[in-house]
Amino acid sequence: MKDDVTRDERVANLKGMGCSRKRVEDARFTQGKGNYVDDIKLDGMLFGDFVRSPYAHARIKNIDASAAMEVPGVLAVLTAADLEPLGLHWMPTLAGDKQMVLADGKVLFQGQEVAFVVAEDRYAAADGIEAVVVEYEELPVIVDPFEALKTDVVLREDTVQDGKPVDGAHGPRKHHNHIFTWEAGDKDPTEEVIANADVVAEETMYYHRTHPCPLETCGCVASMDKVNGKLTLWGTFQAPHAIRTVVSLISGIEEHNIRVISPDIGGGFGNKVGAYPGYVCSVVASIVTAKPVKWIEDRMDNLMTTAFARDYWMKGRISATKEGKITGLHCHVTADHGGFDACADPTKFPAGFMNICTGSYDIPTAFLEVDGVYTNKAPGGVSYRCSFRVTEAVYFIERMIEVLAIELNMDAAELRRINFIKKEQFPYTAALGWEYDSGDYHTAWDKALKTVDYEGLRAEQARRVEDFKAGKTRKLMGIGLSFFTEIVGAGPVKNCDILGLGMFDSCEIRIHPTGSAIARLGTISQGQGHATTFAQILASEIGLPADSITIEEGDTDTAPYGLGTYGSRSTPVAGAATAMAGRKIRAKAQMIAAYLLEVHDDDVEFDVDRFVVKGAPEKFKTMKDIAFAAYNQAIPGIEPGLEAVSYYDPPNMTYPFGAYVCVMDIDVDTGVPDIRRFYALDDCGTRINPMIIEGQVHGGLTEALAVALGQEIAYDDMGNVKTGTLMDFFLPTAWEVPNYETDYTVTPSPHHPIGAKGVGESPHVGGVPCFSNAVQDAFRAFGNRHTNMPHDHWRIWRTANALGLHD
Ligand code: MCN
Ligand code: CUM
Mean pLDDT to the nearest integer, 229-233: 97
Cβ of residue 344 lying under 6 Å from some atom of ligand 1: no
Can you name the CATH fold of 7-34+505-648? Aldehyde Oxidoreductase; domain 4 (3.30.365)
315 neighbors 204 (Cβ within 8 angstroms) = yes
Q: Mutate which of 438, 696, 764 to test ligand 1's pocket (most atoms within 8 Å of Cβ)?
A: 696
pLDDT cut 70: percent of the chain above it: 100
Mean pLDDT to the nearest integer, 311-338: 98
Cβ of residue 383 lying under 6 Å from some atom of ligand 2: yes
The ligand 1 atom at the shortest distance from the C-alpha of residue 270 is 31
* Set 213, 331, 386, 662: catalytic member: 386
Q: Residue 355: is its pLDDT beyond 60?
A: yes
Q: Is 423 exposed, middle or buried (0-12, 13-18, 19+ CB in 10 A)?
A: middle
Cα(696) to centroid(ligand 1), Å:
7
Cα(684) to centroid(ligand 1), Å:
11
Cα(241) to centroid(ligand 1), Å:
19
Cα(453) to centroid(ligand 2), Å:
34
Cβ of residue 762 lying under 6 Å from some atom of ligand 1: no
Cβ of residue 16 lying under 6 Å from some atom of ligand 1: no
Cβ neighbors of 417 (< 8 A, separation 6 or more) are 442, 445
* Structure confidence at residue 223 (pLDDT): 98
Q: How far apart are CA 82 and CA 92, in angstroms?
A: 18
Cβ of residue 565 lying under 6 Å from some atom of ligand 1: yes
Query: Residue 390's closest CA among 428, 358, 431?
Result: 358
Which ligand approaches the C-alpha of residue 267 most closely? 1
113-124 per-position pLDDT tens digit: 999 999 999 999
* Set 385, 389, 416, 610: catalytic member: 385
Q: Mutate which of 15, 20, 528, 694 to test ligand 1's pocket (most atoms within 8 Å of Cβ)?
A: 528
- Bond preceding residue 615 cis, omega within 30 of 0: no
Which ligand approaches the C-alpha of residue 307 most closely? 2
Q: How far apart are CA 622 and CA 626, in angstroms?
A: 6
The ipTM assigned to this model is: 0.99
Q: Residue 613: is its pLDDT beyond 50?
A: yes
Sign for the CA dihedral angle at 277, 251, 238, 27 comes to: negative
234 neighbors 40 (Cβ within 8 angstroms) = yes
- 238 noted as active-site residue: yes
Cα(385) to centroid(ligand 1), Å:
9
Q: How far is CA 111 from CA 21, 530, 719, in A?
A: 44, 34, 10
* Structure confidence at residue 589 (pLDDT): 98
* Structure confidence at residue 80 (pLDDT): 98
499-508 per-position pLDDT tens digit: 999 999 999 9
Q: Residue 2: is its pLDDT beyond 60?
A: no
* Structure confidence at residue 1 (pLDDT): 44
Cβ of residue 382 lying under 6 Å from some atom of ligand 2: yes
The ligand 2 atom at the shortest distance from the C-alpha of residue 568 is 4
- 385 noted as active-site residue: yes
Was domain 37-141+217-265+273-305 assigned CATH 3.90.1170.50? yes
Cα(270) to centroid(ligand 2), Å:
4
Q: Tell me if 7-34+505-648 shares its fold with 308-489+653-802.
A: yes
338 neighbors 308 (Cβ within 8 angstroms) = yes
Cα(390) to centroid(ligand 2), Å:
10
Q: How far apart are CA 499 and CA 549, in angstroms?
A: 33
Cβ of residue 759 lying under 6 Å from some atom of ligand 1: yes
533 neighbors 568 (Cβ within 8 angstroms) = no
Backbone angles phi, psi at 591, to 5 degrees: -65, -40
Q: How far is CA 251 from CA 89, 231, 243, 245, in A?
A: 12, 11, 12, 10
413-442 per-position pLDDT tens digit: 999 999 999 999 999 999 999 999 999 999
Cβ neighbors of 598 (< 8 A, separation 6 or more) are none
Q: Residue 255: is its pLDDT beyond 70?
A: yes
512-529 per-position pLDDT tens digit: 999 999 999 999 999 999
Q: How far apart are CA 158 and CA 339, in angstroms?
A: 12
659 neighbors 681 (Cβ within 8 angstroms) = yes
Nearest protein Cα to ligand 1, atom 16: 760
Which ligand approaches the C-alpha of residue 270 most closely? 2
Cβ of residue 699 lying under 6 Å from some atom of ligand 1: yes
Which run of H or of E encompasses 663? strand 657-667
C-alpha dihedral (387, 390, 394, 397), degrees to nearest 10: -170
Q: How far apart are CA 590 and CA 569, in angstroms?
A: 31
Domain boundaries, the chain: 7-34+505-648, 37-141+217-265+273-305, 308-489+653-802
Cα(683) to centroid(ligand 1), Å:
14
Which ligand approaches the C-alpha of residue 381 most closely? 2
Cβ of residue 526 lying under 6 Å from some atom of ligand 1: yes
The ligand 1 atom at the shortest distance from the C-alpha of residue 700 is 37
Q: Cβ–Cβ contacts within 10 Å for residue 459, how many? A: 11
Cα(568) to centroid(ligand 2), Å:
7
The model's confidence at residue 491, banded by pLDDT at 50, 70 and 90, is confident
Which ligand approaches the C-alpha of residue 346 most closely? 2
The ligand 1 atom at the shortest distance from the C-alpha of residue 689 is 7
* Structure confidence at residue 123 (pLDDT): 97
The model's confidence at residue 3, banded by pLDDT at 50, 70 and 90, is low
The model's confidence at residue 4, banded by pLDDT at 50, 70 and 90, is confident
Mean pLDDT to the nearest integer, 71-80: 98
* Set 761, 770, 776, 780: catalytic member: 761
261-300 per-position pLDDT tens digit: 999 999 999 999 999 999 999 999 999 999 999 999 999 9
755 neighbors 686 (Cβ within 8 angstroms) = yes
Was domain 308-489+653-802 assigned CATH 3.30.365.10? yes
Cβ of residue 567 lying under 6 Å from some atom of ligand 2: yes
Across all residues in the chain, what is the average pLDDT?
A: 97
